[in-house]
Amino acid sequence: MQLSALFCLNGRDNGQRFSVISGLTFFVLFLACIEIGATATLYIPGILLLPILALTSYRRLRDSGKPLRLMGLSIIPFLLVLFTLVQIDSAIMLIILTLLSALAVGYLSILPAATRTNYIQGYSGPVNLTNKSTAPQMRTRVEPTLSVKQYGDASQPRASDKPTQQIMTPESPQPASHQTGKQSEVLTGITSWLRANPKRMLTVMFSLLGIVLLMSVWSLLMHRDVPSDLQQAQNKTQAVKASSDRVSTTLPDGVSLALENDVLIVRWLGETGSATTLWSLATGVGDKSCAILKFNNGTEYRPIEVNLLADTGTEARFSPLDTQAIVADMARRSHVNLCGYRFSLKGSQAAINKVSAFARYL
């Protein structure tokens, strides 16, 4: 097969050639996915294969005399398969799209030719696919002759002088098996039914396409709303690890101090609403009353971030550079203000000294 025939615009392809080229196009795409992976790089071989599929569909429709808009039956499923391989991690959707592509290719393959055409390797057009190798010439057997002096007159014919003739008997064709005959009859019946009912075939194909689209939308929504078991397990592991790394102590007025790798957290309960960020030092956006932690002696510290959690708890995180100074002020001052709240610090020194992780800062 010459490559120029794959990109021919003036030729025609019969059903067998079209189905082979289309099948190889999808096979190469899946093979590239195995070698490259389901990444955006897969679009490169997909774009290179698309013209081959489009042109063989064009030649098949020219051969069958059908409108060229039916090229979408082979091109659209190919693009959907390519998009699914790269963007959507859904094996069910990929299988359904592959079956839909096979039905589309099968339908275009069984379309009868509009006119009688002589095909060479399933192709008819300006590209010459005839084998240029010539058949080997017949050799003529030369019989040996005898000398006249030794064996007499050469004019007398002898039996040994008659040229030998090779009797060529054509090989008798092997009869087809009974099972192969039954399979051929079944395929012929299916092909005849599909040719007689093209509208039903199109209805089935478009129905399957609609089902695929609905299933893909449903799969995307479910995948977005419901986290996977692996993700839930990872979240639980991170939560357990964070709680195990945190050391905390509760002060008499309901304020808690917590340490996470030298990061001081001031926590209290009482807020309502969904989880959100009340204040962020990095952006300077949020509740300005949460921007400063102020003690009664006028000492001020800026929290890095103040977050409202889902359990109605509010946590203010501070820089590790301020941890020692804030813990000391919590133990020695009488009250502190943050986010519009005034917390009493009476008895806080005793609560801090009970936990060695905080006592070392005093």
* Model pLDDT for residues 140-159, shown as the tens digit of each residue: 555 565 554 444 444 455 54
What is the pLDDT confidence band of residue 91, given thresholds at 50, 70 and 90? confident
**91-109 and 15-36 are packed helices; what angle lies between their axes, rounded to 10 degrees?**
160
DSSP class of 219: H
Residues paired with residue 277 on neighbouring β-strands, in sequence order: 307
Structure confidence at residue 174 (pLDDT):
47
Residue 169 has pLDDT above 50, yes or no: no
Distance, in Å, from the CA atom of 287 to the CA atom of 89, rounded to the nearest integer, reads 41
Q: 3-state class of 89 per DSSP?
A: coil
**What does the block give as tokens for 353?**
């000294």
Say what percent of the chain tops pLDDT 70.
69
Distance, in Å, from the CA atom of 149 to the CA atom of 103, rounded to the nearest integer, reads 83
The residue type of 56 is T
The pTM for the full model equals 0.45
Structure confidence at residue 257 (pLDDT):
93
Say what percent of the chain tops pLDDT 90.
31
Least confident of 56-70, 221-235, 254-268, 313-327: 221-235
What is the pLDDT confidence band of residue 259, given thresholds at 50, 70 and 90? very high
pLDDT (tens digit, 9 = 90+) per residue, 196-243? Answer: 666 676 677 667 667 766 766 666 565 554 444 545 555 554 544 445
Distance, in Å, from the CA atom of 74 to the CA atom of 100, rounded to the nearest integer, reads 9
**Do residues 326 and 301 touch, judged by C-beta distance below 8 A?**
yes
| Alpha helical stretches, state H, the chain | 3-6, 15-36, 43-64, 72-87, 91-109, 148-151, 178-196, 198-225, 229-245, 323-332, 348-353, 356-359
